[in-house]
Structure 1
Amino acid sequence: MSHDYSLIMGILNATPDSFSDGGKYFNLDSALEHIKLMNESGADIIDVGGESTKPGSKPIAEEEELKRVIPIFDEFGKNDKYNFSIDTRKSKIAEESLKRGAKIVNDISGLTFDSGMIDVIKKYNAACVIMHMKGNPENMQENPLYTDVVSEVYDFLYKKVSLAKKSGIKNIIIDPGIGFGKTVSDNFKLLNRLDEFKGIGCPILIGVSKKSIIGKSLNLKIDEREVSTAILESISLVNGAKIIRTHNVVNADYGRKLFYFTKYPSRIKC
């Protein structure tokens, strides 16, 4: 496929308490099987996380987070079939994962939680995802307020990208942080004006999979959000997203292919 093709980041939560699939892949064997399945279904990147960051969640100790993610990288990290990212705010977790083959650090704090994170990313010449979050997972949904959510998130990401570039980080992805310290209305405003974030000059990652933006706006329980997730992911592609972070790789792959063929109809061979 062309370089215009969007990418899919499949989610692997090695946690007992994530909002969508907590506990499902906490066992190493089930985690490894799910990685294989996501890869075969079209995932370009597998995003491994060992700490739940759902609203209200509390941080866990480094040792516990390492226990959850390192066995996965020990098994598959150096396998060329897989491209891994590590979803963490902590430089120690990032370094141990990068040592074992991860290529991307997905930092929900936008490089603000751990002062050592930039140096670790630079040391391993890794790519990074810089995300916006108001507050932290424990308090981020306690009445988040903005004067202009789009301009405030844009300014934060622009400044953090500039800092990362000055520090020597070359490959940067931005994420406006849907559901991280925003109201449902804030989230839709960001998606509506997503194209504006191209002005920062980095690929845009969007994660809406099964989130409350869907549940609250459509009054759907978590296990009822598969179809609406795929629809909102496709809308995100139309509005400028380059990478979709998702639980359901199959549906996201359908969405990106249809988006691609609609954008480039002459390239479909049938």
Structure 2
Amino acid sequence: MRTSTIKYINVNGKLMDLAEPQVMGILNVTPDSFYAGSRQQTETEISLRARRIVDEGASIIDIGAYSSRPNAEHISPEEEMRRLRTGLEIINREHPGAVVSIDTFRADVAKMCVEEYGAAIINDIAAGEMDAAMFPTIAQLGVPYIMMHMQGTPQNMQAQPHYDHLLKEVFYYFSQKVQQLRDLGAKDIILDPGFGFGKTPEHNYQLMNHLEEFSIFQLPLLVGVSRKSMIYKLLGGTPDDALNGTTALNTIALLKGADILRVHDVKAAVETIKIVQKMKACAATF
């Protein structure tokens, strides 16, 4: 078990303390997310989902309008913006002051959400690989930036994922990206190993097994394994059956240094954090 260095990120001018791990609740304004329970399209559905995320204790709402599941349909920037505007208007009206993260790989979408709707964080599955303007835009906006490791694109990432040395390649990828962002003046950088993105189930469990080694970057670490295929392909069933496996992996991730859990099931994640934090506190006073 590793005790994380205390980290902070600046969200809308306020420091979010990651000494206690935070929960990011997923709100997908899409018709085709891999987990049907996370798809919200009508105003009523979006409103109810946002309310549940807040009521169950998440400190961040992560809203996405472009499905990144394998073989996902590619939609235009205009359609992505339209969906996000609908969701953000509802969140801003009903939950003013909520910390909102935007799940997008497009710089113009990120800019619109931050400048027009006050979004606090950008969550990019492509780490700038799918839009060369993303890194300069992030530096200009000055918002925390979550960059994920992905091999390929959502349309082809699971075709034939291959690594000669998984951990070394992921670490090298992040070291280059972090330096590029630092050179541009970006400050609050969060790493996401990208479970399920261009990786086989074996790759995913190898990454989880070595998760504590990401502490070498001395940056906040986000883990998103919620109801993913690495769980239900191992245990059987579908995403609907994967909550127990999600909780097991989230527990392991927390013990290995995860600072943010990105989840569909907020209440379960909040409870997991409370139990792990209590255990760590008792260990520290033994």
- Normalised to the residue count of structure 1, the TM-score between the two structures is 0.94
Residue 81 of structure 1, CA deviation: 3.6
Given residue 78 of structure 2, which amino acid in structure 1 is its aligned partner?
A: E
1:1-150 equivalences under 5 Å are 3-21=18-36, 24-77=39-92, 79-99=95-115, 100-150=117-167
**C-alpha contact (below 8 Å) 2:232/2:238 kept by paired residues:** yes
CA RMSD of aligned residues (A): 1.9
Aligned residue pairs total: 268
Aligned counterparts of 2:38 and 2:230: Cα–Cα separation in 1: 23
Aligned counterparts of 1:23 and 1:179: Cα–Cα separation in 2: 17
**C-alpha contact (below 8 Å) 1:84/1:103 kept by paired residues:** yes
Residue 267 of structure 1, CA deviation: 9.4
Residues 237, 131 of structure 1: alpha-carbon distance in 2 compared, 3 angstrom cutoff:
same
Compare 2-11 and 95-104 and name the one that shifted more.
2-11
Aligned residue number for residue 191 of structure 2: 174
Aligned counterparts of 1:3 and 1:186: Cα–Cα separation in 2: 27
Residues 2, 47 of structure 1: alpha-carbon distance in 2 compared, 3 angstrom cutoff:
closer
What CA deviation, in whole Å up to 9, does each residue of 1:126-163 have, x standing for no partner? Answer: 11001000000111001101011111111101110111
Residue 119 of structure 1, CA deviation: 2.3
Can you give the 5+ residue segments of structure 2 that lack an aligned partner in the other structure? Answer: 1-15
**C-alpha contact (below 8 Å) 2:149/2:170 kept by paired residues:** yes
**C-alpha contact (below 8 Å) 2:33/2:39 kept by paired residues:** no
Aligned residue number for residue 196 of structure 1: 213
Aligned counterparts of 2:85 and 2:185: Cα–Cα separation in 1: 26
Given residue 16 of structure 1, which amino acid in structure 2 is its aligned partner?
A: P
Residues 267, 102 of structure 1: alpha-carbon distance in 2 compared, 3 angstrom cutoff:
farther
Residue 70 of structure 1, CA deviation: 1.1
What CA deviation, in whole Å up to 9, does each residue of 1:172-227 have, x standing for no partner? Answer: 00001000000100000000000111111211101000001001111121111111
What CA deviation, in whole Å up to 9, does each residue of 1:81-140 have, x standing for no partner? Answer: 410000001011111111111111100001111111122222221110010000001110
Aligned residue number for residue 5 of structure 2: none
Aligned counterparts of 1:196 and 1:267: Cα–Cα separation in 2: 22
Aligned counterparts of 2:113 and 2:46: Cα–Cα separation in 1: 16
Compare 48-57 and 73-82 and name the one that shifted more.
73-82
Residues 81, 33 of structure 1: alpha-carbon distance in 2 compared, 3 angstrom cutoff:
farther
Aligned counterparts of 1:224 and 1:23: Cα–Cα separation in 2: 14
Aligned residue number for residue 163 of structure 1: 180
Can you give the 5+ residue segments of structure 1 that lack an aligned partner in the other structure? Answer: none
Compare 230-239 and 115-124 and name the one that shifted more.
115-124
- Normalised to the residue count of structure 2, the TM-score between the two structures is 0.89
What CA deviation, in whole Å up to 9, does each residue of 1:33-87 have, x standing for no partner? Answer: 2111111111011100000000111321011101111122223348544100000
**C-alpha contact (below 8 Å) 1:9/1:47 kept by paired residues:** yes
Residue 23 of structure 1, CA deviation: 7.4
Corresponding residue to 2:249 among 232, 239, 245: 232
Aligned counterparts of 2:217 and 2:108: Cα–Cα separation in 1: 28
Residues 190, 168 of structure 1: alpha-carbon distance in 2 compared, 3 angstrom cutoff:
same
Residues 2, 259 of structure 1: alpha-carbon distance in 2 compared, 3 angstrom cutoff:
farther
Aligned counterparts of 2:135 and 2:85: Cα–Cα separation in 1: 21
Given residue 239 of structure 1, which amino acid in structure 2 is its aligned partner?
A: K
Corresponding residue to 1:220 among 228, 234, 237: 237
